[in-house]
Amino acid sequence: MHSDQVVRRIHDLRQILTDHNYRYYVLDSPTISDAEYDALFRELMDLERRFPQFQAPDSPTARVGAAPASTFGSVPHEMPMLSLDNVFSDEELTEFVDRVRRLLGDVEPSWIAEPKLDGLSVELVYEDGVFVRGSTRGDGMVGEDVTANLRTVRSVPLRLRREANPPQRLVVRGEIIIGRGAFRRLNDERISAGEPAFANPRNAAAGSLRQLDPGITASRPLDIFLYDVAKPESVGLATQHELLEILPEWGLKVNPLFRPCGSVNDIRAFYRDMVAQRDGLDYDADGIVVKLDRFAQRAVAGQRSRSPRWAIAYKFPAQEAITVVRDIAVYVGRTGAVTPVALLEPVSVSGVVVSRASLHNEEELRRKDVRVGDRVVVRRAGEVIPEVVTVILPDEGAPRGPAFAMPETCPMCGSGLVRRGEEVVRRCLNESCPSRVQESILHFAGRNAMDIDGLGERLVEQLVERGLVRDVSDLYALTAEQLLTLELVGDKKAENLLRSIARSRQTTLPRLLFALGIPQVGEVTAALLAAEAGSLERLMGMTPEELQGIPGVGPEVSSAVAAYFSLSATAERVCRLKDRGVTWPDVITKPLEGPLSGKTFVFTGALSAMSREQAGAAVAELGGTVGSSVSGKTDYVVAGADPGSKLTKARKLGVAILDEEAFLALVGR
């Protein structure tokens, strides 16, 4: 084949494959089979391999990946990639619409609503129709350069369609996702290969795009929906719905489920439609995005430092299901708190089979009046913890089971249950209660505590039943001979467990404080206490007044910490841990200086990308501090899934509220 024939054939193959990519990924109407496409693709790869002088960065073969990078470079965004504020009710939506109306004055707003995708935000840059750079959102101002990885995503066109006359330069933004069906297949493949399954599609998509080896990214079923441009005036259009109509003509994939809305009632109707469609979508959506449709009106409405005033995310409610209560059981936790739990007919909620749900406490149980045999609505609060939302009452006159009565004595050890002060929970005060000891050990060994791998519930139950472990310090005195007497423990398991216990002997002060299970002390508070005290010895000697002087530590926490360290059992436990080789270095108490110096953060709700401990550490690394309660001195409240009363208080006080995406951008994660 002569060189001019090679050039012509390579050009034709690229054009043919690009056209078929457009038909498959954008129009969703392929005209050839996968086998035919693969044959054309292989022919092009063969020609480019034999004639490397004709290779081009916008060739469809460029998707196969590049050499692994050692790190990601930084890419400044031409215009900030802003995050969105959230609303959760029709009333809050109306407040937002009215607020925008006031900003626009006499001009009547026009709206557009789109599904809010649960993925990873990215920016793509095209010059002369060719994809030249791609980046993550980062902190909104600067992102990570993931160009090589985005080239492997088949729904990202490497060249825009010339026949549609795209702009000479286009900066377009969208969301990288993995569809639900593709996610299930990906996890099936990983499990078959002995690899751990991904937790959810969003985490899988984010992790796949941020691989240093583009070859790994290429092996993952990533997809993209585009929905915005950095400078709307650059595309010569007046409205968002015109933009969403022309992007596909340029070869860029958009979500077709957008809808122009003339009023707040139209927006509510779209929201209800999307809630109804939610389970049938092949991608995760956690709400709708409501925007001013006209770009000129957006310019008038303006923006805050990190969010536009002209757009809002109207979040979906947590997904729910209906099932039947088989029984109500009572569980005793490590602090002695007695918690009623509904044992359910198994039901799928948000893709997870739920067979038990929290009833929280006696007061909540009485308020909801949950009884054995009731049909109930179950929700995974924050998409994580199952809870009973409400009872579906039978027709009038239909019989119900008797009201549930909380026990007067501990179901595990028989000790009397008591209430302390104004607490709504009953507690077992017997520290030797088998249930308390078991829960304390499980907490102590947890991943964010001492991280002892292999200590499951059944194994801990046996250790306590046989008297081998009466206190967490006893874990460090276990022998192989003792472990081999337990059910389902062989030589290998005993060896691995002892190795994990030995490894946990070297820990940190924040982890130790959290592991001890001090009342009122979670991961964030443990980190605060460690950073302020510097050493366990100093912390054990601090008065309630001194403890309350630590930013983020209120009177309840300070009283609980001081009371815990005043117990002789605590001092004995610490001594035994030291005697058995557990060590933890003192903490350097000098505060870090950084861009968040002087800023106080409070967290509420569940974060999906990191634990509270990791989030607090990210704030501390940048010089900020983490508080446990909201006050006028709080700078930011970070609201995750299913936020609590702290969010309400933040709104009343006018404290800045960040969703998880905005927080991650702020701390550069």
Cα three-residue angle 654-659-661, rounded to 5 degrees = 145
599 is an active site residue: no
**Among 245, 246, 232, 249, which Cα is nearest to 292's?**
232
CA–CA distance, 41 with 24 (Å, rounded to integer)? 15
Angle at 254 between CA 248 and CA 258, to 5 degrees: 115
Catalytic residue, chosen from 116, 291, 368, 646, is 116
**Residue 115: CB partners within 8 Å, gap ≥ 6?**
255, 257, 258, 274, 281, 285, 288, 289
Q: Give the dihedral sign, CA 369/373/375/378.
A: positive
d(CA 658, CA 636): 7
Output the CA–CA distances (angstroms, integers) from residue 362 to 270, 286, 368, in the order listed: 39, 32, 10
In this structure, which amino acid lies at residue 56? Answer: A
DSSP 440-488: HHHHHTSTTTT--TT--HHHHHHHHHTTS-SSGGGGGG--HHHHTTSTT
516, with CB counted inside 10 A (0-12, 13-18, 19+), is buried
Q: List, in order, residues 6 or more apart from 577 with CB less than 8 Å away.
A: 472, 473, 476
Residue 582 tokens read as 């557990």
- Which of 157, 145, 124 has its CA nearest to residue 57? 157
Enumerate residues 6+ apart whose C-beta is below 8 A from 92.
Answer: none
Backbone angles phi, psi at 132, to 5 degrees: -115, -20
CB of 381 closer than 8 Å to CB of 366? no
In angstroms, rounded to a whole number, what is the distance separating the alpha carbons of residues 532 and 546?
10
Q: Which of 125, 118, 80 is nearest to 661 (CA)?
A: 118
Beta carbons of 283 and 177 less than 8 angstroms apart = yes
Nearest to 100 by CA among 267, 255, 270: 267
CA 145, 310, 108 angle in degrees (round to 5)? 150
Residues with a catalytic annotation lie at: 116
